[in-house]
Amino acid sequence: MKTILCLILCLLMAFPAAAEEIDEQSIALTEDEQTILPERETTPDEVYAQSDAADVEEAWERVIDPGNVPAFVTLLLDVAAGEIGYTEGPNNRTKYGEWSGDKNAAWCAEFVCWCVDQVDQLHGTELLKNVYPKWSGQNTGRDWFIKRGRFAYRKGNCPGWGYQWLDGADHLMEKNEYIPRPGDLMFFSYNEAGDTEHVALVEYSAYDSEGNVIVHVIEGNNPSAVQRNRYRLSNSQVLGFGLCEDVIGTTMRVGNRGDKVLWLQQSLNELGLLEERHLTGGFGSNTKRAVMDFQSTRMEGKSATGIADRETQQALEVLVEKTIFEDYETWLVEE
């Protein structure tokens, strides 16, 4: 009995509880986040992304012009299309899972990552871990895009952050307003918590005869092969999109961390509102005070909430660009 009591005491002493106030340093980005470790898979039995556009006549569809897309998107879609028809072996075994380190993984994410890696290997690009994450498991891919400011929620509201908007827009993004572009990743969730259970690579989007948006994808593991599929943008299983380009804005507040937070801090620093030592990528109390200072002194009639909403970020961007343009030192040419 004494031996058991001693063992319990040792375990309790080895894991002391600690609570710290949030600040920039405690939520700063780390280099380790460039490689995301796999989480435990929690794929529910016999649950797959369900296409709700099988009845749509493809001949009546009108492809939506995505505008200019990066050159790597065509390369990526070519690789993915070349895999159509590949079928898993016993116990989910695939070459994509084997490449990722788990030959029996539920392999929708592994398929996407493998395709990205193939483009890197064939064309000398550096897409994996930069434009796209390398991940396996629930939520890690979604969270990677969120931290880089490139996850568009279908309903236009990022939990823990706030409302979103399209770049340059004068309004907040409405539900189903973002139309996925080639090269985006389409994330699915089967529960109210918003946990990601499936992912597909967007090939293109189109309008059907009634003006509804149909998203065409290439996907793996649904249920056992690489295939093309179609989903209505309004499909309730669609959670949102990991974007291959930065084309949205997201509200920022205390506790957030990522590339957009760092941009916010750098902009505030450019205006003399935040010291350089606080440029950490973590939104803490110092950043909040700087945002409040900007809102109260540079935005007429704006409430100083300390939350970097659409109006605040757009006003900050305009003022910083004006400041840089008017700074004569930026026009000096070194000989």
Q: What is the pTM of this model?
A: 0.85
User: Can you tell me which residue has the tokens 């930026």?
Assistant: 330
Q: Is 267 a domain residue?
A: yes
Distance of CA 41 to the CA centre of its chain: 19
pLDDT in tens, 237-252: 999 999 999 999 999 9
Q: Is 25 a domain residue?
A: no
The residue out of 245, 271, 300 marking a domain boundary is 245
The residue out of 219, 245, 271 marking a domain boundary is 245
The residue out of 220, 245, 270 marking a domain boundary is 245
Pair (188, 286) in one structural domain: no
Pair (95, 221) in one structural domain: yes
Pair (184, 116) in one structural domain: yes
User: Can you tell me which residue has the tokens 């900050």?
Assistant: 316
Number of domains in the chain: 2
Per-residue confidence (pLDDT) for residue 253, from 0 to 100: 98
| Residue type present at position 329 | E
Cα–Cα dist 264/314, whole Å: 11
Q: Is 73 a domain residue?
A: yes
Pair (67, 138) in one structural domain: yes
Q: Is 194 a domain residue?
A: yes
Cα–Cα dist 229/217, whole Å: 5
pLDDT in tens, 198-222: 999 999 999 999 999 999 999 999 9
Pair (151, 279) in one structural domain: no
Beta bridge partners of 188: 198, 238
Pair (200, 309) in one structural domain: no
Q: Is 58 a domain residue?
A: yes
Measure the N-to-C terminal CA separation of the chain; round to a whole number of Å: 81
pLDDT > 70? residue 18: no
Pair (232, 195) in one structural domain: yes
Which range marks the domain in which residue 96 is found? Answer: 32-41+52-156+180-245
Average pLDDT, the chain: 88
Pair (304, 216) in one structural domain: no
Cα–Cα dist 239/153, whole Å: 6
Q: Is 114 a domain residue?
A: yes
Pair (150, 292) in one structural domain: no
Which CATH number is 113's domain given? 3.90.1720
